[in-house]
């Protein structure tokens, strides 16, 4: 095998890998954006109908869809400009190689303990709070204008930040790993028309950040002390403390841990046999 052949093979593999990588991150970010999912479904539906019209020789339908396919991309850019901009921003915020280390089991347990202690106190005293936990997609654009904290995550610190009439009470806290990065963060509120009109700004902000990123948003209502979690564009409203704790643990568990546990179980079964 000559050097030219090796180089040609390498460039082909690199070419295919880059294409698949682009597709992966595009689809991953589309999945995390509700409005982009709707746009994607609409485009796929139009392409399928166009294909069927060609197969069945539906001249009129095919002609109309020809104009749609021709001018559709321009119309989508004009009409859905805010959604497309948000989608491109989310791709730019994504860390391709991963930025944060995975927490150990002990660290995750401590994070859950501190969060639950704070949530129980805030719920009992009906103190409003919004705690956003960053995951794969960076929240740097919200961290920059906020008040930097860079402190270990503790329930006392959270309770102090959200204490009524404190300067940072109305904003959100952003958590990276097991540390509080900033407080007083302001998030874009969700524009979903199906949201209950009685829900306030905190719930809308929590839902908004979960729609445009993979962040986990924890909310405590100031009016009634109800606790909720927003994840992947869905708001889980008025949870019990046990439901809240179980969902928090499940969301904070790294997805790869399932494989490790499976391997350990298999090894244990082999030993038992």
Domain ranges of the chain: 3-93, 105-257
**pLDDT at residue 169, rounded to an integer:** 87
Of the two residues 270 and 244, the one the predictor is more confident about is: 244
pLDDT for residue 261 is more than 50: no
**pLDDT at residue 99, rounded to an integer:** 45
**pLDDT at residue 243, rounded to an integer:** 96
- Specify the CATH superfamily of domain 105-257: DNA integrity scanning protein, DisA, N-terminal domain (3.40.1700.10)
Of the two residues 272 and 80, the one the predictor is more confident about is: 80
Length of the chain: 273
**pLDDT at residue 182, rounded to an integer:** 95
Is residue 158 within 8 A of residue 114, CB to CB? The reply is yes
Cα–Cα separations (whole angstroms), residue 257 to 115, 153, 254, 261: 22, 23, 6, 6
182, 223, 221: which is closest to 203 by C-alpha?
221
pLDDT for residue 110 is more than 70: yes
78: left (phi over 0), alpha (psi -120 to 50) or beta: alpha
pLDDT for residue 181 is more than 90: yes
72: left (phi over 0), alpha (psi -120 to 50) or beta: alpha
Taking the whole predicted model, whether its pTM rises above 0.85 is answered as no
**Which H or E run contains 240?**
none
Is residue 173 within 8 A of residue 132, CB to CB? The reply is yes
Is residue 132 within 8 A of residue 165, CB to CB? The reply is no
pLDDT for residue 83 is more than 50: yes
Residue in the block written with tokens 């610190």: 157
Average pLDDT, the chain: 81
Of the two residues 40 and 15, the one the predictor is more confident about is: 15
């Amino acid at each position: 095998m000559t050097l030219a052949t090796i180089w040609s093979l390498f460039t082909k593999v690199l070419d295919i890998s880059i294409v698949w990588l682009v597709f992966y991150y595009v689809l991953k970010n589309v999945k995390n954006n509700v409005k982009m999912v709707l746009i994607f479904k609409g485009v796929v539906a139009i392409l399928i109908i166009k294909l069927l019209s060609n197969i069945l020789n539906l001249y009129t339908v095919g002609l109309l869809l020809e104009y749609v396919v021709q001018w559709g991309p321009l119309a989508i850019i004009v009409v859905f400009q805010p959604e497309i901009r948000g989608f491109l921003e989310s791709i730019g915020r994504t860390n391709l190689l991963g930025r944060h280390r995975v927490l150990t089991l002990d660290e995750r347990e401590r994070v859950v303990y501190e969060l639950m202690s704070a949530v129980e106190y805030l719920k009992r005293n009906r103190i409003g709070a919004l705690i956003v936990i960053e995951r794969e997609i960076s929240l740097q654009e919200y961290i920059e204008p906020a008040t930097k904290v860079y402190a270990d995550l503790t329930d006392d610190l959270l309770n102090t930040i959200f204490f009524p009439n404190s300067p940072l009470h109305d904003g959100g806290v952003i958590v990276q790993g097991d540390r509080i990065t900033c407080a007083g963060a302001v998030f874009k509120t969700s524009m979903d028309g199906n949201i209950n009109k009685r829900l306030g700004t905190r719930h809308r902000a929590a839902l908004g950040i979960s729609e445009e990123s993979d962040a986990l948003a924890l909310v405590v209502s100031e009016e009634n002390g109800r606790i909720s979690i927003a994840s992947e564009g869905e708001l889980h409203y008025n949870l019990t403390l046990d439901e809240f704790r179980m969902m928090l643990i499940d969301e904070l568990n790294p997805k790869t841990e399932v494989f490790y546990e499976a391997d350990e179980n298999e090894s244990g079964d082999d030993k038992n046999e």
